[in-house]
Every structure is written in C-alpha cells, then in structure tokens.
Amino acid sequence: MQYRVFYFFERSSESVSSTSAVEMSAKAIRDQLLGRLRSEDDYLGIIDGNENLLQILCERGAERFWVELPLDAARASYGRYVTLPELEELILNLPQVFDRGHFPGLEYKPW
C-alpha cells in the first residue's frame, strides 16, 4: 500500500509540502522518515487514498510523539501520545483508510 507523505525536519531544513506530497510505503516511511523526527518543530503528514490525514508531531527530545487525525472544520483533532516503538508499530500496521476506529485510545482535542 502506498501513501502520500509530506514533512518538515528542522535540523536538515528538509521539507515537502502537502501539495507536493510524495508516495511511500509504510515500511519506507518507518525506515526513512521516523528517525528524522527530532525537534518539536518536526512533523510528518501521511495521506491515505481517500485524502484522510494522519499527522505526527515530535515532542521536545523525541521521547514521545503526538499522533492525530485532524478535523480542520472543527479546529480539533483526535490524537494520542506514543513512544517511538509504538509509532513504528503503528506505521507498519497503517490501515488502507485512516479512521478513528483503527487507532485505539484517541482523545478529542480542540486547537
């Protein structure tokens, strides 16, 4: 399964905008991008085939990550904190279509 990804990595100043998202497999996302999430300004967006977005934000020190399904119209998201091993597992088991039911433990959070 291929997804489209966009990201920003502060250390290297590398970025791909959401309008220029590139195709990658879940394994490639895990192997090539997760380890680059290091600072609190780093993020990774993953778009499924139905244009649903899963967004990953790095916490200071890359000790945990906020994983969310944004709801732009509601100015909120459903998300939860995960550790790197949990994030790697989540990425390798991404569903074809992102839905709250596929990601247990998500909490509603207004922006």
What pLDDT, in 10s, does the model give residues 49-99? 999 999 999 987 778 999 999 998 789 999 999 999 999 999 999 999 999
Number of domains in the chain: 1
Query: Looking at the predicted structure, is the pLDDT value of residue 9 above 90?
Result: yes
Parent domain of 39: 2-110
The mean pLDDT value for 21-26 works out to 98
The region, left, alpha or beta by phi > 0 then psi within -120 to 50, assigned to residue 61 is left
The region, left, alpha or beta by phi > 0 then psi within -120 to 50, assigned to residue 75 is left
pLDDT of residue 37: 93
